[in-house]
Structures are given as structure tokens and as C-alpha cells.
Amino acid sequence: MVVRCAKDSLNIHKQTEVSAQIAAKFNCSPFQASLLEMRGLTADVMPKEVENWLSPYLPMLLEKLDLGADNANAAALVRSLGASSNVVVYGDYDVDGISATAIAMELALSRGAHVRYFIPHRFNQGYGLHKDVAQIIAKRKCDLVIVVDCGTQDVESVEILKKNGIPVVIFDHHLVEGKRAESDTLVNPQICGDADAKRLCATAVLWCWIWQNELMPRRQLMKLLDVVALATIADCVSLSSSLNRALVREGIKSIRSKARPGLGLLMEQLGISASSIDTEDLAMRVIPCLNAAGRLYLADLAVEVLFPGNDLAGKVGKLIALNRKRRELSTKILEEVDGLAGEGFKYVLTNDGWSVGVLSSVASRICGDRNAPVALAASVGDSIMRGTLRMPAGGDAVGVLKQLAPLLNTWGGHRLAAGFSVKMENWREVREKMEEILSRVKVVGEKEELLYWNPANLDMKTWAEASALGPFGMDNPSPTLYAPYNGKMTLAPLGKGGKHVKVSLGPVSLLAFGAADMFSGGCGWLDGWVYKPRLDTWRNVTSLQFVLEKMVARDAKTD
């Protein structure tokens, strides 16, 4: 969908002397050099820093990684597992928790142990290691509990297991506020890990720990990078991190070369070619299906799809159907949110008819569209409200909830995204106080970063050099480009229905999806084009296309 924007909302970079120096020193194209400069590099940096952007070497990055844990005890516990050992893996219901659960199970199975897993129900139980589940595990007994993507502050639950003689190892990445659980080993880089470690998702924390302690054959471990890539993209951790880019890059290679059966079936039913899959395919199509299980059903379904088993096709079909339902529910909530304006609350919105499972994705959408904080909440039964809080860049969701902690039942998360639950009798007070806190949040409008580049000067080879800075995602966006409008263009229909047009600018064209009406009244107001390159393969022929995203107005008039 093409939109109109004001030029003052854009930060347009042009080729500079610095980019020319980068190109000369590191033997790269002016296009690639300009993109490196936009990422803060200069010609004075060491070649290794440029190499970490263009070709991050995973073994070297892992060698220097500090997860911040004295983890020898945990490694010894895993090495002691054998054919008579029983292990319980306790996970979380999002893709990071599902993926970490899968790797923890693979780890225990590789030692010959018997493995069971448990993921809490999003509605009935919510996030974290729950005391009632810990009591059941303690009663049934096991030799080791591996907790992933939660557990850092589940003090009482861990204490129950420890008092019953069951060792507990926690792998987490959530911010820590208050008292920590006293497990045998707590591997959470947020406590004292280095900068790269703090930017890992929970799945990556576990995978890196296994690598550093040599607990699985390296060849087998590399194959597990497919789910590390899924979790890294799904949890929106920073891809400006060389380590995260290396993990995702190798994970995508694993999927392209030989996808695990369930994942392969999912991609096939979604019409995705595994051989050319990229981060956008994973983020926009695959991951929402895997997430839908925990949002609207049981996360176990997604775990089962990641392991070979019976009726994989049926399970994949159910994931796709659940995701279709998720989209329908999300659309309905978005429409209802628009109708809540004027009811006294601008930031903390609620409706008893909303499905709790889809609130986080809807809140993210609203936060992005409004560039403002938002909390959405709905009732779970008669006694509990569950909610999700999203903050724009520079916000602190955990800090907000910390101020309300005495009134909350449970809470936790990250700086920009967090969840909470509250007893019904406290909800009114929580809502009013949260509304007041969010109303004081000062949002700094961020300009979109673009590179001034004529599409006629961009070919397949140059774009391949730009792609070397990927995988693209959070904090490392795919290059978005700007070209001025010179007053000349030719329009032609694109596809059926009359909604799309092809904008010919001499030797190249821009594909303008859903933008036919924007050209109907003339373009005297037009200053330039914001577009993104993409590769398109049709009948085994790959071409470089330019997709129009925004039409830049000469004045401040916007849609």
C-alpha cells in the first residue's frame, strides 16, 4: 500500500566523501559503502569491523561471547544424563519459547535421556514457571528440569523443585527486576552478559551455551540453527548484532538446504519455496502460523510440527487455520479500538470480548501506527485481567509495570514489550494509574533513514553487495531508497482490478500496489519516490524489481 508523506519526515543520505573513502579502502561499491556509512562506519575503522558486517564468522563470535554465567555446574548436570535419566523441559508459548523448548529437548535426547515438556496455557495460566506445575513435577520426580525463556524471577516455583531434590537450570533473556530464582545455574545475559549476549533471544542463549560447552556435536548443532533463526526473527532482537546476523544467516542456509519435515510442509502449504526463503517470508508468513498455536490453542501443536511425527500435514493445516482465525480476530479488535475513542482512556484499552491471545500482535500494530504507547487488556474468567503493553522507540515497558508492581499479579518482559496480569478488584486502579503514566511518555519522532539513489543505477550485482549487510530486520532494515521526481513518468495498469499501476521512469519502473487512485488527480504536488528493491523469481528467471512505498509531497500534506 503506497502512502503520501512529507519530505521533512525523511532523513535522506547522499554519497559523501566518507562513503568514497570506505569504497576505496575496502574495495566495495559506492552503494555498499553508502549503506555502511549509514550504519555508522567510517574509513578509519578496522577491516575486522567491516568484515563483521559483511561476513560475520560465527565460530569466532562465539569464542569471545560472554553469556555472563558460571555455567560449569549446568554443563556437568547435562553430561551426567544417560539412558535412565528423566528430564522435563519447561517453556513458553511464543516462537522463542517453542524453539528453545525444541532445542532443550534435542539436547536431552542427544544424551540418551527420556524427555517430557510442558508449556503453560496462555489464557488459563499465563507466562512463567507456575507453582502448581512445579508441585506436579516434584511429585512425579525427574532428574533435571530445564526452564527456557522464563524462570528468572519465579523464586517460589524453583524453590519447590529444589526442596524436592530436583536440579533446575534456567536459560532466559528477560530483563531482571527484584529477586532472582536460586536455580543450580541461571544463564541470563541481562544479569552480567556482554553487549552481544544481551541482544540474544532465549533460544540463541541456549544454543550458544551448548556450543561453548561442547555438549552436542557441532554438525548436529548447526542443523538446529533453523529454529534459532525463527526465534531471533520472531522476538525482534537486534540484527545490528553481528552474532545475531550470523545465527540467522546460517539458520536460513539450514532451512534452504534441508528443512525439517514439519517446517518444510508448512512452507509448502504457504506457497513458499524453501530454496529461496528469506527473513521476510519467515517474519510475515511462517512465524505467525507457529505463534498462532499458543495464541488461540496450545503451543504444543507448534512444538509437534518442529519434530517428526504422525499426521504432520494435519497439524500444519491446523496451524494455518489458526493463523487465519488470528487475522480475523485481530482485524475485528483493530476496528473496535478505533471505536473506543472518546471513552476517557486513550492509552489503556479494554474489552471483555477480546481474545487475549491476539492482543500482543494487535498492540504492536497500534503502537507502530500511532507511534505512541498502548496497553490492551481483556478478562480471563471472572477474576483476572491479562494485558500487553507496547512502547515506541525509547520507551520502557518494564519500567512502567515496575511502578505498578504492588497492584499486579504477574508482570515482566522487555523494554518495548511486556505483559501483565491483575486481579479484577485491582483493575480499575491499575488502569487509571497506567493511563496517567503513559500519558506522560514523551515520544521522539524518528525520521525514516533513506539513501538517495537513482533506480537506473542499481543492478543485480550491486543489490547482491547490499544484501551482504543482511539478514535485515530489527535495527538493520532493508535499504529504503529515495529518488527525485523529474516531472516525467508513464503509467500502465498492473494486474487486474485497476488498483495497481506500473510507473515507468525511462529505463526502469516502479511497482505501485494499491496506488492507482493516487495518480488520478495529477501529481503537481510530487517531489520524489520512496522505494525498495526486491528480487523476484518467475519461471526460474530472477529479476530485480523496485516497489514503491511512499510518494513524497513538496509540502507538509500527508495522507
Q: How far apart are CA 449 and CA 38, in angstroms?
A: 8
Question: What is the rounded CA–CA span in Å between residue 286 and residue 266?
Answer: 7
Whole-number pLDDT of residue 14: 95
pLDDT, position 343: 66
Q: Read off the amino acid at residue 328.
A: E
Report the 10 Å Cβ neighbour count for 295: 25
**Distances in whole angstroms, Cα of residue 142 to Cα of each of 16, 136, 495:** 63, 11, 60
Instruction: Walk across the sheet containing 168-171 and list its strands.
Output: 114-118, 86-90, 144-148, 168-171, 185-187
Q: Is the C-alpha dihedral spanning 201, 203, 206, 210 positive or negative?
A: negative
Residues 6+ apart with CB under 8 A from 423: 383, 384, 385, 409
Residue 111 dihedral angles phi and psi, to the nearest 5°: -95, 0
- The three state secondary structure string of 62-105 is HHHCCCCCCCHHHHHHHHCCCCCCEEEEECCCCHHHHHHHHHHH
Q: For residue 23, what are the CA distances in angstroms to 71, 126, 267?
A: 43, 51, 39
Whole-number pLDDT of residue 371:
87
Parts of the chain with a pLDDT under 70: 70-72, 341-343, 555-559
For residue 33, the model assigns a pLDDT of 94
Give Cβ neighbours of residue 393 (< 8 Å, ≥ 6 apart).
Answer: 416, 444, 446
Q: Is beta strand 144-148 parallel, antiparallel or unpaired with respect to 168-171?
A: parallel
Domain architecture of the chain: domains with CATH: 3-10+448-553 (2.40.50.460), 62-258 (3.90.1640.30), 339-439 (3.10.310.30)
User: What local confidence, expressed as pLDDT, does residue 342 receive?
Assistant: 56
Phi, psi (deg, nearest 5) at residue 51: -60, -35
- The C-alpha cell at 450 is 533513506
CB neighbours of residue 64 within 10 Å = 9
φ and ψ at 264, to 5 degrees?
-60, -40
Cell representation of residue 372: 505512541
Handedness of CA 132, 134, 138, 141 (dihedral sign): positive
* Residues near 177 by beta carbon (within 8 Å), at least 6 away in sequence: 153, 398, 402, 405, 412
Does the model's pTM come out above 0.85? yes
Q: Which three cell numbers stand for residue 325?
A: 482465525
**pLDDT of the residue at 559:** 47
pLDDT at 337: 87
| Contact call for residues 433 and 404 (beta carbons, < 8 A) | yes
User: Which has the closest alpha carbon to 403: 364, 379, 423, 429?
Assistant: 429
Extract the C-alpha cell encoding 553. Answer: 509531497
Grid coordinates belonging to 464: 547482491
The residue among 379, 374, 372, 368 whose CA lies nearest residue 340 is: 374
Tell me the C-alpha distance between 476 and 238, whole Å: 7
* Spacing of C-alpha 50 from chain mean position: 25
How many whole angstroms separate alpha carbon 325 and alpha carbon 435?
30
Residue 362, CB-side half-sphere exposure with 13 Å CA sphere: 28
Q: Which of 449, 492, 479 is nearest to 544 (CA)?
A: 479
Q: Distances in Å between the alpha carbon of 266 and those of 29, 183, 535? A: 38, 37, 22
What's the rounded Cα separation, in Å, for the pair 271 and 321? Answer: 15
Q: What is the pLDDT of residues 316-336, one digit of tens each?
A: 999 999 999 999 999 999 989
What grid cell was written down for 352? Answer: 471483555
Query: What is the structure's pLDDT at 496?
Result: 84
Q: What is the pLDDT of residue 119?
A: 95
Query: Residues 460-482: pLDDT tens digits?
Result: 999 999 999 999 998 899 999 99
